[in-house]
Structure 1
């Protein structure tokens, strides 16, 4: 069913976001059913059964959730790309979190946000984490981005000491980081009113994030002064 819909829509350049959202929702639903040992209806299972889709590897023979997640991974690899800005990765991430905000997000979905091109898509990931109150992950990700930007200062670290291309090293979503700091303040002040929230952990992360912000700002100041002194463009 999904194969036919995706191939047909792709041939006519029709947006596939709703198809990807539907698959993502099924993935989360199957995972929850297996975790709680609830039976999955036959009409649901047939969607990801062997033989229904040529994209399901034959070595995955157990568990509807494993086959569904693999199908989603293959579809994303095949029909989503940097050329279009990875819109289906964004749609899938949002739908997963909307369906179950506590679910573990597969690493292969996060590759575009944590790999070499992440500077271009960091806003999307951080915005999604904030939207669904994944404050710990949002904090760790923001700190990582800020440290990456700070470490790209050639005076302090040298020009080859970081992994991201120089053009991406300063793609810092500062407005979202401000929102994150406010959200952390609110969560810490709530003193456990948020279910599953470790306020001490969030307080430490809030402190680490503020430190990373200050170091990043100082790095930008130093680099700006160097650029002015050398009469070269400021990044």
Structure 2
């Protein structure tokens, strides 16, 4: 039976493909205050601004490709039972060929009803006011905004608890509850942390190896290290 590798990815791996992230600097995302475009309050204040913001992000996603970090993670499925739990709302892991991807914070290429959270549609083009569900309710981006429940968290915890190895890639470990996930791994499960500017990890009982590299270089090195552990 293949060993289970649980991979927690953050904005850094997407940034290497050219996607802009608000964590890059000063709390702005493409020049917008995050709370204006990623909170229920921002949505209620100015729906057109929010829709336009995510329409631009959706268009930008069509222009980028998975990088070597994404590709090698997909290739690791040959030797490991790989589960990717990502904070990212793009589909670059899926484009690279990863088959088990759980999106904690939603997906850019999906929309949902403002009245029924379970009414979710695939959506690749612009979303505008007047696009509605089957009951006439406005559709919104399928994104978990600040202050909203992370409904995938329980599933993510269950996956992490079963890990034989954990890899944390491209995250500043500032976004909760995602940043706390690695602490659910069994205490003897080895954790690899790949980031060019790794944050300090507090209260982690597990054996930890820090790879201070970006994902493009660090994930191939991770593959080498995991092959030696098999």
- Scaled by the length of structure 1, what TM-score is found? 0.28
Q: More helix per residue: 1 or 2?
A: 1
Q: More strand per residue: 1 or 2?
A: 2
Question: Which gives a bigger RCO, structure 1 or 2 (Cα 8 Å, sep 6+)?
Answer: 2
Structure with larger Rg:
1
- Scaled by the length of structure 2, what TM-score is found? 0.29
